[in-house]
Amino acid sequence: MNVTEIDLTTLRNWPLPMPRFDGDKEARGHALVVAGSREMPGAALLAATGVLRAGAGKVTIATAAHSAAHVATALPEARVIAMAETPGGGFAAEGVRRLAELAPKVDALLIGPGMQDEYATAELVRALLPRYAGRKIILDAAALALLHPPEEAPLLAEPVDWQHIRFAEAVLLTPHAGEMAHATGRSRDDITADPHEAARHAAQQWNAIVALKGALTVIAAPGGGLWQQQGGNIGLAISGSGDALAGIIAGLAARGASLEQAAAWGVALHAAAGDQLALRFGTLGYLAREIPAEIPALLRTLAQA
């Protein structure tokens, strides 16, 4: 298997698109973050902060009505859409039309961080995917419930028809090993024993780019591309860390990177941010919310490297 290490050389040879100096915020890219819930409202904030710190010009958050006002206050740079909630704490289907209307103005769509009610989330994803065809789509955390085998929860109204859902190069899935285990019906140990094979197989099975996260993160594209990243430290293994990463990737994609490039740069920046925070605070005890603020300086350093 031919694996490309995501190191300085790889990144230097794969420069991120830069906005024109006379561009406006729309030109810098707009990401829609569908995230958070009554019990995990912070996920929306972590992801949306990641979007802006990665350099996108605009972020819209769709989050649980219950916490929307708090989220808006905590991130005044964001537009916040309050989503009606299901009894299970997910987003009710009635919100789909509002999110679908935004599609022409959105460059990248992230769904899943901190969402509850896997059934409602999977149905929401299924409803939004066709409306966002041609946009860059990142499915994380609860949104990966769409992939669960039929014999497992959630019970979808109809079996998933991949041909109609049109998973393609424009969809990135970001499972950790546990989520990959849940989605594939394999054991977590089986996944971690050979993450390259697991990511590659999943990318082909779902016809999507797959970033299988862990101390070693493997990115596989359906076309055969395979990358790995082993930086960072154990301090990154903390609740909300993946939400920040998903937001950083969405921000990079919104500002013009392909999803493969956004994933590769995103995991490298996330790991480097962890290393910066470990230097400042020690390896254990820094917070996921501190990750995004490290990104602009790292981008500047890496762009000049």
Ligand X SMILES: NC(=O)C1=CN([C@@H]2O[C@H](COP(=O)(O)OP(=O)(O)OC[C@H]3O[C@@H](n4cnc5c(N)ncnc54)[C@H](OP(=O)(O)O)[C@@H]3O)[C@@H](O)[C@H]2O)[C@@H](O)CC1
Which pair of structure tokens corresponds to residue 280?
């400042």
Q: Is 118 in the site for ligand ADP (CB under 6 A)?
A: no
Task: Decide whether 126 or 148 has the Cβ nearer to ligand X.
Answer: 148
The site string for ligand ADP over 177-216 (x = CB under 6 A, - otherwise) reads ------------------------------------xxx-
Is 117 annotated for ligand binding?
no
The item of ligand X, ligand ADP, none sharing an interface with residue 89, based on CB under 5 to 8 Å by kind, is: none
Q: How far is 80 from 71, CA to CA, in rounded Å?
A: 8
Among residues 49, 60, 121, 217, the one that binds ligand ADP under rule CB under 6 A: 217
H or E stretch including 141?
A: none
Q: Is 219 in the site for ligand ADP (CB under 6 A)?
A: no
Q: How far is 256 from 107, CA to CA, in rounded Å?
A: 8
Q: Is 112 in the site for ligand ADP (CB under 6 A)?
A: no
**Cα Rg, the chain, nearest whole Å:** 18
Burial 97-127 (b: 16+ CB within 10 A, else e): eebeebbeebbbbbbbbbbbbbbbbbbbbbe
Half-sphere exposure of 220 (CA within 13 A, CB side): 23
Among 117, 87, 111, 88, residue whose Cα is nearest residue 31: 111
133: helix, strand or coil: coil
Q: Is 232 in the site for ligand ADP (CB under 6 A)?
A: yes
Burial class (CB in 10 A: 0-12, 13-18, 19+), 135: buried
Q: How far is the CB of 300 from ligand ADP (least distance, A)?
A: 22
Task: Give residues in contact with ligand X (CB under 6 A).
Answer: 40, 42-43, 113-114, 141, 178-179, 181-182, 188, 239-240, 242-243
The item of ligand ADP, ligand X, none sharing an interface with residue 215, based on CB under 5 to 8 Å by kind, is: ligand ADP
Among 158, 98, 151, residue whose Cα is nearest residue 123: 158
Secondary structure of the chain: what % helix, strand, coil (to 5)?
Answer: 50, 15, 35
Q: Nearest residue by C-beta to ligand ADP?
A: 242
Task: Decide whether 42 or 154 has the Cβ nearer to ligand ADP.
Answer: 42
Q: How far is the CB of 289 from ligand X (least distance, A)?
A: 10
Among residues 270, 272, 291, 295, the one that binds ligand ADP under rule CB under 6 A: 270
Q: Is 47 in the site for ligand ADP (CB under 6 A)?
A: no
Which residues define the annotated binding site for AMP?
Answer: 213-217, 242
State the residues that interact with ligand ADP by CB under 6 A: 141, 176, 213-215, 217, 232-234, 236-237, 239-243, 245, 270
